[in-house]
Amino acid sequence: PPDLLWQGPIQPVVIPAGTTPVLYKIPISEPVVFLGIDDGWAKTVDAQEWLISHRLPFSLFLTDDAIKSNYGYFQKLRAAGVTIENHTLHHSRLNKLSLSRQQAEICGTVGIYERVFVRQPTLFRPPYGLMDNTTIQAAGTCGIRAVVMWHASVENGVVHYQEGDHLLPGDIVLMHFNSNMTADLQVFFNQVRQDH
């Protein structure tokens, strides 16, 4: 899938004061991992029911183009406690855009989601994992508190790692809304149980 393009190494990030941090993992020692589900193109009933029935604090990084035909699907998830976060208006390759165009992609989504989901998103994941310093600057001007990347991803029933071969406390995991999402969610939970 397109968001799996980023293949960079996991490195500690030193964030200068006054800038928006870029997170590859959360610095905790408790046996907790974080799941972010991207895009929103596939809207299956079984995935929606699974997410609602498990009532876990998932974060959805949604692209407005992907969800605007059915905001109601995601409003139901929001009502069940899922957090709606930012993944741009059009799923653009931000590192190819000027500051003003990156701001339009990120800030435009902030305004729409605040109106539709009654909450302004505070986290942002760049499409394809592509970003530059301008992206971090643009995100900060749009009220984003952190840019969220990932350590592992789940695709077609397989967990893929940026490094290593298991999940560690604080790891961020990427998944997508797709036709296999319910099976991918189960694979993710099985891996969490095995590693923790």
Low-confidence ranges of the chain (pLDDT < 50): 1-15
**Whats the size of the chain, residue-wise?**
196
Query: With a threshold of 0.85, does the pTM exceed it?
Result: yes
Burial 144-173 (b: 16+ CB within 10 A, else e): bebbbbbbbbbbeeebebbeeeebbebbbb
pLDDT score recorded for residue 29:
85
pLDDT score recorded for residue 27:
87
The phi, psi pair for 158, rounded to 5°, reads -125, 135
Could you give the C-alpha distances from 115 to 84, 118, 167, 171, in angstroms and in order? 12, 5, 36, 31
pLDDT score recorded for residue 7:
39
pLDDT score recorded for residue 18:
58
